[in-house]
Amino acid sequence: MAKGRVTVVDIAEAAGVSKSTVSLVLQGSSLVKGATRAKVLEVMSELGYVYNRGAANLRQTNASSSIIGVVVNDLTNNFFAELAVGVDMVVQSAGFVQFLSNTSESIDRQREVISSMREHGISGLLVSPARATEAADFKPLVAAGIPVVVVVRSLPGAKVSSVVADNANGVAMAVRHLVSLGHRRIAFLGGFPDTAVFDERMQGYRTAIKASGIEFDQKLVVPGPPSRAGGIDAIGRALMIDDRPTAAVCFNDAVAFGACDGLRARRMEPGQDFAVVGFDDVIEARSAVPALTTISVDPQAMGRRAAQLLLKQISAGKAEPESVVTAVRLVVRESCGAKNGRTAA
């Protein structure tokens, strides 16, 4: 027998039975006599054969796989790594395995990986959409009865479920907190304007600025990549404004970390010379120097909630769209300049 991976054909030849008989034994069929079953199992043990049940399921058109597709737009952002951990906690305990893929904000890459996941027979899809994603992109999955849960970034018009944070209220909390500390020139840094989550967070920013009796100034809105590098660039542009800001609400924690880096590069100390507030509360926010004031979303909890919703729909055999908005809270630490860090509801 040739060396290499042992196959069903190898087992059949060694046991002196047909390939179909070996397949029936692997499937636990009662059609195979006891003596024959024992012989096949003995040969399997001797040859070290390992049954790949997942591959076998994928060959059966009527079998549902135990695979959950998870597609995120930026795995270099700690938020998505923590979210994936939350997803894994739930799907693993339910007997599923997650296939995780990163799109790096490429719509073409997103379509490619989702197509590949469908070929592998995913039971459901959890996705944080890349920029330029349209509702129509998920119509084929909806038509095929594959449950889809959009997480972090909502997708208006798509007939799929969603789990997103209370973005507008979160940013409004951050603005009100900075106003309470005496700031009147408050910038909004980072984020892509062509995403729904940017619109939601900007809505909170504008509403809170107006409610505080401050005139909205478009120059203080400095969009850009929601990354650390994007934060460095955004704070640089913000500090070039004539009547420059004294504080900033950042699109996410990654941008906030970048803003702090950019401030230090200009010999300004975050929390002392300029107030910085993030959004997400990733693990690094607590250990950063200074510790980051931020809007806590609890990414692991969001991942668990999204996974639970997806498994619920898989179990039900139908995908009735549901929308879940998770609560957020302001966590006050040192980067905003508050003397004593505290948590505000």
- pLDDT of 47 above 60: yes
Please state, rounded to an integer, the average pLDDT across all residues of the chain: 89
Structure tokens at 172: 């409004």
d(CA 81, CA 73): 11
Identical fold between 8-51 and 67-165+299-326? no
Average pLDDT of the residues in 95-123: 91
Contact 240, 266 (CB under 8 A): no
| Half-sphere exposure (Cβ direction) of 8: Cα atoms closer than 13 Å | 15
Max alpha carbon distance in the chain (Å)? 88
Domain assignments of the chain as residue spans, ordered by start: 8-51, 67-165+299-326, 167-298+329-344
Structure tokens at 336: 């905003």
What is the tens place of the pLDDT at every residue in 173-228?
A: 999 999 999 999 999 999 999 999 999 999 999 999 999 999 999 999 999 999 99
Strand, helix or coil for residue 293: strand
Find residue 67's DSSP bridge partners: 97
Structure tokens at 168: 């507008």
The yes/no answer on whether domain 167-298+329-344 falls in CATH 3.40.50.2300 is yes
What is the predicted pLDDT for the residue at 54? 52
CATH assignment, 67-165+299-326: 3.40.50.2300
Residue 73: phi and psi, rounded to 5, are -90, -15
d(CA 126, CA 50): 30
What is the tens place of the pLDDT at every residue in 180-193?
A: 999 999 999 999 99
Residue 34 burial by Cβ neighbours in a 10 Å radius (0-12, 13-18, 19+): exposed
What is the tens place of the pLDDT at every residue in 230-258?
A: 999 999 999 999 999 999 999 999 999 99
Q: Which CATH superfamily is domain 8-51 in?
A: lambda repressor-like DNA-binding domains (1.10.260.40)
Average pLDDT of the residues in 138-145: 87
pTM: 0.78
**Which CA distances in Å does 191 have to 74, 77, 149, 177, 271?**
13, 13, 22, 21, 22
